[in-house]
Amino acid sequence: MKKSICLYFQVHQPNRLRLYRFFDIGKDSHYYDDFANRTILRRVAQRCYLPTNELLLDLINTYKGQFKVAFSISGSVLEQFDRYAPEVIDSFRKLAGTGCVEFLAETYYHSLASLASPSEFRHQVTKHKETIEHYFGVSPKSFRNTELIYSDEIGSMVYDMGFKTMLTEGAKHVLGWKSPNYIYSGALAPKLKLLLKNSTLSDDIAFRFSDRGWSDWPLTGDKYLGWIKAAARNDEIVNLFMDYETFGEHQKAQSGIFEFMRYFPEVVIKDGEFEFVTPEQAARKHKAVASLDVPDPISWADEERDVTAWLGNELQNDAFNKLYSVVEKLAIVNNEQLWSDFGHLQESDHFYYMCTKFFSDGAVHKYFNPYDTPYEAFINYMNVLSDFILRVDDAISVSDIKFAAEKKTAPAKSARTAKAETAKKAAAKPAAKKTVKAGSAAAAKKPSARKTVKTKK
């Protein structure tokens, strides 16, 4: 049996926030920098999405289905494709039509909901799955959480939602002596198969490819396949997971990244030791060799491979906790626009911008950050969040007023009806009324009895 190579790409663009000042709170509730979102989306579409999709389609046709890839495309970027570059959706549809591309499920808003709210997490996964079905006519079978975030508990939730395959990071502090080049199973969900990213080989393309100071520059297809063979000498599968923007955006076209991608599949297929598979195919092909215990969340970010890129300081945790404190309030008002804004405010990028790491991973954070400092990112976000919470509270107040008015109106109407019915009954029974008046004097001296009757009535 041939060994496997699984190529997976993350496709995501956040809804960037405009400069939102303290004095805008309560006055202007449009939070997004539409110009920046459109400009960046169009730029990345021209540099990456369109040319790389065309290249992949050509490779699939050239090798008659032997070349396969997988994508997770966030709902946030799909909304922007619809708005600013619908031709990108058409190019992904062409890839979907080949049957050689797997589309994975994830959180709709590329959020950290799995770390905060199980109900919101399930809602976003369901919404994303339905969106992928709508756009591409396929139902996702495998799952990939935001930034490959995974823990035993998250894996259990994912399995309960019907997914049997999940992607995550091959974190060294979790694996220990184990190799990432096998399939593992979840500790709390033994039937959930885990595909682990080979960080070294993935980052050789994603981060080091164009670095002329790198001792192994330039990277060629033959050299890279040699590394893959050496890494998986006694193993079964090599998982190469990376941002799709690697092609043409992070690694510019002049670096030779497109030529590398065009030649690499040919090298692999001609060699014959490996074959390309999608995550679902990999899970069917290979058995889990062991259970993987991950009590604390891991991810593919930074050297730590944990969640400190988003929740590693007080700024991030303050914003995160304040955001998710409104979940129950939102459930009361059930306002579509509020839920939409809540979703976009959950995008993990907003918390990433607040990261205060300035050491080995500082350059990476700076590259992706539209703010000059993490503190500016925090202040801007909290101003937006303050306005959002005011809107939620106002919506609840309106709901309370309506509810109180309805509650007050309904009993009043009932009382008037009851009084009218009592008057009609009294008018219809004059004899009974007269009998009471003609009763004994003792009876007439018992107001407490009438009061009691009236009270019971």
The verdict on whether 245 is a catalytic residue reads: no
Q: Between the CA of residue 29 and those of 39, 144, 390, 433, what are the distances in Å?
A: 22, 32, 10, 66
**How far is residue 336's CA from residue 99's CA, in Å, rounded to a whole number?**
35
Residue recorded with tokens 């595909």: 195
**How far is residue 169's CA from residue 86's CA, in Å, rounded to a whole number?**
32
Residue partners of 328: CB distance under 8 A and separation at least 6: none
Q: Which of 79, 147, 169, 347 is catalytic?
A: 147
**How far is residue 262's CA from residue 246's CA, in Å, rounded to a whole number?**
14
Closest listed residue to residue 151, CA positions, set 103, 127, 126, 118: 118
Residue recorded with tokens 């959020």: 111
Q: Between the CA of residue 44 and those of 81, 248, 252, what are the distances in Å?
A: 11, 8, 11
State whether the Cα torsion 213-215-218-220 is positive or negative: negative
Q: How far is CA 224 from the centre of its chain?
A: 32
State the pairing for strand pair 274-277/165-169: unpaired
Closest listed residue to residue 3, CA positions, set 171, 170, 181, 141: 181
Return the active site residues: 147
